[in-house]
Structure 1
């Protein structure tokens, strides 16, 4: 596998939170450490990060008196976005690196001026060695302009910047032939875009802490990206050095490709 020059990394809420649904700073630091390692090798990363809603709940610890779920989520996200960026800004600064926040709604990726502006923004940041941190603009997103989840956003960003690789980090090792906790389940190491493996997916039922993505979504997004010749992986974000290992061609997680490589 040829070394990529641009990769998109999506980190889910379950990766960055503990069992009390609080952001774990050490997890974010390990994530940035790997991005910094790749940066030294002239591999640029775009980070698609969840966590703003959880971060907002940490700030508004007493909750809010808003019954409407959508408005409540908007409030938590709007409050949490600066907190998440402060986490990332401080950690990247420790590595002598710079980061930037890029918020978007789904319509920003439609052909036209919005898309052109998005491309110019990402190209400008990447050319200056600045790590873009992307997230959905929950504060203004409406139903018609909302991403299915951040997996979809990551896939669209990967296509937008002509990324070589897309890594979807979750809290399981990859795609399994059954529930990940079942002893009889085996991890599927390689899937092609046209391979029918959806019947293997068994959602855990726990959901993703304040997230919307599940394995079914990840597989669909991964297949779509693979068809666009973006090598895609689903892997455990809590595994030590997982991103660098994937880039180095070490067999980690589930790889999704356009065609069988054998």
Structure 2
């Protein structure tokens, strides 16, 4: 197996149930697969959503009306809870993890970019799995990522990853709505193909999240164009990460 660096992005809809509660077994499965890749000599970076949901679980409904401030508060409260979950799970597999928060300006050319790269390279060299997320507590307007899909793509480019896996709650990109029996899953897409026409404008958005399929498609194409093989796949499918890395026909694969 030649792949040595994989960035895995897990969306809010993957890790939550219908009541918008964090599902522990999903996180455990995710970490178990990362642990198995680590044993094979494959370094992983996890880009994880969920902090706002975790914060809402703790605080419940709050009186703040401004959407941006609400997100800041929920995320600031939820980040420690998410990391507590992950720290415990990684520890169970004898692994260590670290939190890396970023804003968009951290990926701009110059000192910020260099510092971010040094951080990731240092963690990976010590066998520590970086868990990346947007620094929602301070990230507003111009310093915001479009969503965590964009963050995952930037991290993949930063560390020269071999693969980006975007995990969502559908099996990949379909020729129509996933619930329509006539829709077919597209197993492979080249960046120049016009598949945007298949994205439904009425698609479901992520709970407390920002990234939908339209965003994922855009990011997948942009990342693949940089010679980083990219997948959109169902994060709730058993062993989905392992199957993708092993080359099985899972999800939608984007290539040049």
TM-score (norm 2): 0.99
1-structure distance, mates of 2:25, 2:202: 26
Following superposition, the deviation at residue 202 of structure 1 comes to: 1.1
Helix, strand or coil: the match of 1:213?
A: coil
Q: Secondary structure, in 3 states, of the residue corresponding to 1:67?
A: coil
Using the TM superposition, give the Cα deviation of residue 46 of structure 1 relative to its aligned residue in structure 2, in angstroms.
0.1
Q: Give the aligned partner of residue 102 of structure 1.
A: 100
* Alignment match of 2:171 (pick from 170, 173, 176): 173
Deviation at 1:175, TM superposition (A): 0.3
1:32 counterpart residue number = 31
> Is the Cα contact below 8 Å between 1:179 and 1:203 reproduced in 2?
no
Question: What is the aligned partner in structure 1 of residue 74 from structure 2?
Answer: 76
2: distance between equivalents of 1:175 and 1:229? 20
In the TM superposition, what whole-angstrom CA distance separates every residue of 1:174-220 from its partner, at most 9, and x where no partner exists? 00000000010000011001111100111454311111001111111
Deviations along 1:76-101, one digit per CA (max 9) or x if unpaired, are 00000000000000000000100000
Shift of 1:132: 0.1
Contact 2:203–2:212 at 8 Å: present in 1 too?
Answer: no
2:162 corresponding residue in structure 1: 164
Of residues 123, 126, 131, the one that matches 1:125 is: 123
Cα distance between partner residues in 2 of 1:222 and 1:200: 15
Deviations 1:13-43 (A, max 9, x none): 0000000000001000000000000000000
- Deviation >2 Å, runs of 4+: 203-206
Are residues 94 and 160 of structure 1, via their aligned partners in 2, closer, same or farther at CA, if it must alter by over 3 Å? same
Q: Give the distance between the partners of 1:241 and 1:74, measured in 2 at CA.
A: 33
RMSD: 0.8
Report if aligned partners of 1:201, 1:216 keep a CA contact under 8 Å in 2.
yes
Distance in 1 of aligned mates of 2:3 and 2:194? 27
Structure 1 stretch 66-75 or stretch 200-209: which is displaced more? 200-209
Decide which of 134, 147, 150 is 2:145's aligned counterpart.
147
2:11 matches 1:12: yes
Distance 1:175 1:65 in 2: 38
Structure 1 residues 219 and 155, CA gap change in structure 2 (3 angstroms): same
Structure 2 stretches lacking a partner, 5+ long: none
- Select between 197-206 and 10-19 the one with higher mean Cα deviation: 197-206
- Alpha-carbon distance, 1:65 to partner: 1.6
Is the 2:102–2:133 contact (alpha carbons within 8 Å) kept by the matching residues of 1?
A: yes
Q: Of 209, 212, 226, which aligns to 1:211?
A: 209
Question: Counterparts of 2:67 and 2:251 in 1: how far apart (Å)?
Answer: 34
Q: TM-score, normalised by structure 1?
A: 0.96
Match in the other structure for 2:40: 41
| In 1: Cα distance, 2:86 partner to 2:202 partner | 30
